[in-house]
Amino acid sequence: NEQQLEAAFQARIDAEEKIEPKDWMPERYRKNLIRQISQHAHSEVIGMQPEGNWITRAPTLHRKAVLLAKVQDECGHGLYLYSATETLGITREELIEALHSGAAKYASIFNYPSLTWADIGAIGWLVDGAAIVNQVSLQRTSYGPYARGMVRICKEESFHQRQGYHIMMTLMQGSDEQRAMAQDAVNRFWWPSLMMFGPHDAESAHSAQSMTWKIKRQSNDELRQKFVDQSVEQAEVIGLTLPDPDLKWNEERGHYDFGEIDWDEFNRVISGSGPCNRQRIAHHVAAHEDGAWVREAIAAHEAKKQQRASK
Ligand code: ACO
């Protein structure tokens, strides 16, 4: 019966076995995974917008080629993750519809505008840096297709993080104006980057269950702390100041203490009222509609092929 199946399922999870698409799984596990992986996929795809915005204005041909490659990687990440979600028995059309209707979320960070070239550095360094901390942990997630997707994504993501840090380092070695531009980008992107890890553990609706099922391997607050600890040193090396007066080393904890996130802002942004939410979704809807003819052409071609084969 259901209870025995669920106990056997949990035993497999506890033994660190991966769950594969055709294995038995509780319906709530399947739903929770569809929710998390699809939101992760949407984040990768919507995340192309703030950076795509700068491809034509990158300061050198080299930077342009690198940024173009990076944005294409993000698209690829979205596609692996949509495929992983589809193994759970939901269609791509349903997933896109949930994004467009607002039923599915995507990472809050991509609702902030990229105003200057330094923002591309800050996004690579901080946003991709935060994404890696989370995704390294997800390489050990219990669902096989998700875990395997994360391995490749992490490799590419670490290149993204370095390209961002390199932009920041270059700006910090430049003129006063360039240094000010880099600092301004950090001032605007630091707090939203900390929000990427989600609410505090005590406020996190899905955490307890996701940790038991080993969908999540480390908690929102643990991962956020790890990110803060690594970023402080990276900022110091190139002379940037993180905009938090409460940031200081705590000898006893062996970690940096830091200030409180503006949770009102977080809640506004995840519920659709951040600076760019409407623009991001409108752009995705328009791109999806513009691409309708490609999907229709593929379907028509497939139908013709099948007709020919059945003659
Ligand atoms: N942005 C948008 N929504 C968020 C964020 C955020 N930064 N943090 C939490 N939420 C949402 C959750 O999706 C959930 O909403 P839902 O119930 O409508 O799905 C709600 O807030 C409550 O949060 P939690 O219970 O903590 O949710 P969860 O356990 O899923 O943890 C987390 C959130 C940490 C983001 C998790 O889903 C995760 O690790 N996802 C995979 C990583 C990912 O999506 N990265 C995307 C950014 S990286 C990139 O694209 C470069």
3-state secondary structure of 140: coil
Position 167 scores a pLDDT of 98
Predicted confidence at residue 311, as pLDDT, reads: 85
Nearest CA residue ID for atom 7, ligand 1: 196
- Residue 14 is encoded by which pair of tokens? 């506890």
Q: Are 166 and 267 in contact (CB under 8 A)?
A: no
Q: Please, what are the averages of pLDDT over each run of 10 residues along the chain (311 residues)?
A: 96 98 98 98 98 97 97 97 98 98 97 98 98 98 98 95 98 98 98 98 97 98 98 97 98 98 98 97 98 97 96 85
* Residue of 38, 105, 156 to test ligand 1 pocket, by largest number of atoms within 8 Å of CB: 105
Give nearest CA residue, ligand 1 atom 23.
204
- C-alpha to C-alpha distance for 163 and 167, rounded to whole angstroms: 6
For the chain, the farthest-separated pair of C-alpha atoms sits apart, in whole angstroms, at 77
Residue 91: per-residue pLDDT: 98
**pLDDT of the residue at 31:** 98
Locate the ligand 1 atom nearest the alpha carbon of residue 157 and give its number: 51
Nearest to 57 by CA among 113, 4, 120: 120
3 state DSSP class of 274: coil
Coil, strand or helix at 292:
helix
Q: What SS3 class is residue 248?
A: strand
Give pLDDT, residue 203: 97
pLDDT score of 206: 97
Q: What is the pTM of this model?
A: 0.97
- What is the predicted pLDDT for the residue at 235? 98
Residue 43: predicted pLDDT: 98
Q: Are 25 and 19 in contact (CB under 8 A)?
A: yes
Name the one residue in this structure whose structure tokens are 């409460």. Answer: 246
Residue ranges lining ligand 1, Cβ < 6 Å: 35-36, 39-40, 43-44, 47, 105, 107-108, 128, 131, 134, 195-199, 204-207, 210, 220, 270
Q: Which two tokens stand for residue 244?
A: 């938090």
| CA 137 to ligand 1: nearest atom | 39
Question: What's the Cα-to-Cα distance from 58 to each of 61, 178, 208, rounded to whole Å?
Answer: 7, 14, 43
ipTM of the complex model: 0.98
